[in-house]
Homo-oligomer: A and B are copies of this chain.
Amino acid sequence: MNPPFEVTILGSSSASPTKTRHHSAQFVSLDGSHFLVDCGEGAQRQLLLHGIRFSRIRYILISHLHGDHFFGLPGLLSTMNLGGRTEPLLIAGPAGLQGLMEQMLSASHVELKFELSYLITNPEASELLLETAQCSVHSIPLEHRIPCTGFIFREKTPLRHLNREACDEHRIPVSAYEALLAGEDFVQPDGIRIPNNVLTNPGRAPRSYAYISDTIYLPDLAKSIRGVDLLYHEATFMHDLLDRAVSTFHTTAKQAALLAHAAEVKQLLIGHFSARYRDTEGLLAEAQEVFPATAVAEEGLTFRF
């Protein structure tokens, strides 16, 4: 069975929270790699409520410095510390985030007992932010009122499968299997090299998840996110408020769906809804008209793929 690739929604509101929606935050998990993506106010309680242990989170990615995407960070760090955390933590986010967090923690007399490091994201170009045993994470430049990036998680290419018949035919010793699965050729004692692709078959396709935080509609994003298994895209407004979306550098549900269609993603997840929408039926219907495989980023839901 494939290791689970999961996205749990902790918040789906835009700038103002509502009675039913918190500020942006998601828990992204691939086998042993666990990420918190954005950390709006209340994220720590949302993690608690959904049974996600803080100690699992090794990386926190912050898309931009609007409060609804990072005001939950000082509280989460404080509670992690109080809980006796020892695991190191890496925070990737815009320039300025580190200084701000250090001031908040110092003013509130928190002395961190775990290793915390920061990585500054580049809002101008896609960059490899980090690599774990399971996946890589690249930033994606977005266009919002302030510097902002999305993130794309790509599973590492899964191991190839042995071609047992070919291995037997070439009398490959069992001791060589591990090297074959890792992609190496087999060299016989007589010096003859048998190419890896003769002895193995490709594994399944690696999976990927793109998180597109606050941005004006960017059709060109299709290139960076082509074919991802799951695309989360903000959909702050419905399309009748396109003017408002443009002037505030946000996207409509229809535009998010157009991008999903153009990029041939497998599934679209819309979120970051304006507080004016009491329910999300209209937003979902509008997106599904263009791209049927759309779901709403309802808080508490976990998307597995």
Contact = CB atoms under 8 A, between A and B. Distances in A.
Contacts of A16: 79, 82-83
Interface residues of A, number: 36
Copies per assembly: 2
A66 interface: yes
A176 interface: no
A15 B71 contact: no
Contacts of A70: 108
A49 to B, nearest CB: 6
B79 A17 contact: yes
Given A16-B83, A75-B71, A107-B100, A45 B48 contact: no
Contact of A104 (B23, B42, B100): B100
Contacts of A22: 45
Contact of A74 (B71, B83, B110, B145): B71
A15 B108 CA distance: 11
Interface in A7-64: 15-19, 22-23, 41-42, 44-45, 48-49
Main secondary structure of the interface of A (DSSP, over half): loop
Nearest to A108: B67
A146 interface: yes
Contact of A109 (B18, B75, B83, B145): B145
A209 B48 CA distance: 33
A104 B104 contact: yes
11 contacts: A15-B82, A17-B79, A19-B45, A22-B45, A41-B44, A66-B109, A68-B75, A71-B78, A100-B107, A109-B145, A109-B146
